Chain A
């Protein structure tokens, strides 16, 4: 190093022997930053196609409401859904749908914004009031039992996965999902291979009540789960066997 490239920070001039080198660094560092940013941003994994349907605005649906394991709205058969359609319900933010016990099993009108991912629909109920009793016959077909299954997949919170967040699953999102489940949102199982045509099952305990709270910390992890699968309308429900969940 010759004397004319001794750098002194407080000096007014950069030594001539260093100017070229420092100009290269001053140019190269930001360029490198830009290239790395592009590489990392462009290679982000596909978070799936779930989304809020804000464009459609608030919708009103008519159906029978059942509270367990989590509030579900059962729509009558239609052209699009010949077997009927089962819609998941949520409150606003990380809160489950608040269903008045008096409405259980009754025909209701539900108003809110839809979340959609593939064939899965969830309605985020509005708050003035999101659910109202409605006239009409309330007769639900009995659930169809599909037998005992052992499945591989990930427990997610049903709202984020359906499109409240993109991505709304995985370990990176685990803490968020735990808050959602603690708030009463429905846990769902997303399987690696389809069960009776679906990779999406609502989770319940062995008796058909809410999933045991002790399983919440397992959200986001890859698991093996055992239990009885049943079909309610077009939605599958997995009733977890006691001690039926293990890390993969």
Chain B
């Protein structure tokens, strides 16, 4: 969490995560550039810079595919949440590998000419290169603004919009490959890999969206006295867990149970809109399933030295039924937890 901004607040999980990704990248490049060429059936092997272009380009494409699969995978199966935890490092690494691709291209196709490489790149009137440039600029912008500092500086809506552009970048890369390398390819392997990747990204997003749609359309029923809503039965909330209540209008609300008391807070994490209601109470604090930001049950405020705040809500009991007032209190407003009768 953010008491101040450090370049990276390292944790053991992040170190392991980054190591696994780096091992994957190194293995990929070794297999592509060192072992693969021994299996090629060619008159003479492709030259080293072309091999480097292809190795880095395809590696960046596969990494971007993985980046885009992690979100829906984690929504469909919570065991994938740890992959989401440090996804931004994966994004930065993807940008670095794509930069390797760009430099290999600049240093070969756009070198040795009286025209300077960058001028030649921007002046190229090939159909597929502008799509590659667009995708790279998006990756670069995302990598440069991936730090939480930028999230706060730009504000969540701008930051989120910028990071949604990754989908445009992915589409652009698919076009880049389709209008470029695939125009020449006689062997279908690259085409098959690109199609499988694109199909997987689409299928996972559709599956996750369908599941979310089913959940989002199950709205809370109004109680006889407006504005109160029937949130559910107190006994249905497991210890240290939450149920999520979706009012007809307004944000979803998470109602947590901890030591025989109930507290209602926003379902939306102040960090990156993570689904707080899918989190847990750990050490007496609500803990976000995405990056582990924590909030106190009684006022929706992160414990010191942290300063994040989320909206709190009022609750009351009607027999064993829990009723919720769906109007949010300003973030950080203390609300005494609701005691459940023993």
Residue of A nearest to B288 (CB): A8
In the bound complex, do residue B79 and residue A179 qualify as a contact, i.e. CB atoms below 8 Å apart?
no
B11 touches A41 (CB 8 A): no
Residue count of chain B within 8 Å CB distance of chain A: 79
Q: With an 8 A cutoff between CB atoms, is A49 at the interface?
A: yes
- CB-based contact B28/A36 at 8 Å: yes
Which stretch, B40-48, B145-153, B242-250, B329-337, touches the partner chain A? B40-48
The secondary-structure label for the interface of chain B is: helix
**Residues of A with C-beta under 8 A to B41:** 46
Partner-contacting stretch, out of A18-26, A204-212, A240-248: A18-26
* A7-B32 contact, Cβ under 8 Å, with A40-B189, A45-B184, A94-B112: no
Assess the A10–B13 pair: CB atoms within 8 A: yes
A22 lies within 8 A of B82 (CB): yes
Instruction: Find out whether the CB atom of A34 lies under 8 angstroms from the CB atom of B28.
Output: yes
B39 A47 Cβ-Cβ under 8 A:
no
Give Cα A18 to B124, complex, Å: 50
The answer to whether B31 and A175 have CB atoms under 8 Å apart is no
Interface membership of A37, Cβ < 8 A: yes
- Tell me, yes or no, whether B301 is within 8 Å of chain A by CB: no
A6 near B36 with CB under 8 A, answer: no
Point out the residue from B32, B40, B282 that lies within 8 Å of A8, measured CB to CB.
B282
Our count of residue pairs bridging A and B at CB distance below 8 angstroms stands at 197
Residues A44 and B110 in contact, CB atoms below 8 Å apart: no
**Cβ-defined contact, B31 with A37, below 8 A:** yes
The stretch from A105-113, A125-133, A145-153, A165-173 touching chain B is A165-173
B150 CB to nearest A CB, Å:
19
**Are B179 and A29 within 8 A (Cβ)?**
no
Collect the chain A residues with CB atoms within 8 Å of residue B9's CB.
10
CB under 8 Å from chain B, chain A span 1-30: 1, 3, 5-12, 14, 18, 21-22, 25-26, 29-30
A123 to B109 CA separation, bound complex (whole angstroms)? 21
A-contacting 9-mer, from B50-58, B159-167, B228-236, B312-320: B50-58
> Given the interface contacts A39-B189, A45-B184, does A7 sit within 8 Å of B85 by beta carbon?
yes
The 4 closest A-B pairs by CB, nearest first: A41-B36, A93-B112, A170-B184, A42-B39
Having A9-B292, A33-B24, A171-B180, one finds 7 other A-B pairs with CB under 8 Å, namely A7-B13, A10-B13, A36-B62, A37-B27, A41-B55, A44-B36, A175-B121
Between-chain CB contacts (< 8 Å), 22 pairs = A9-B82, A10-B13, A18-B79, A26-B16, A29-B21, A30-B24, A34-B27, A34-B30, A37-B30, A40-B32, A41-B31, A41-B40, A44-B42, A45-B184, A46-B42, A47-B42, A47-B50, A49-B43, A49-B44, A176-B109, A178-B126, A179-B109
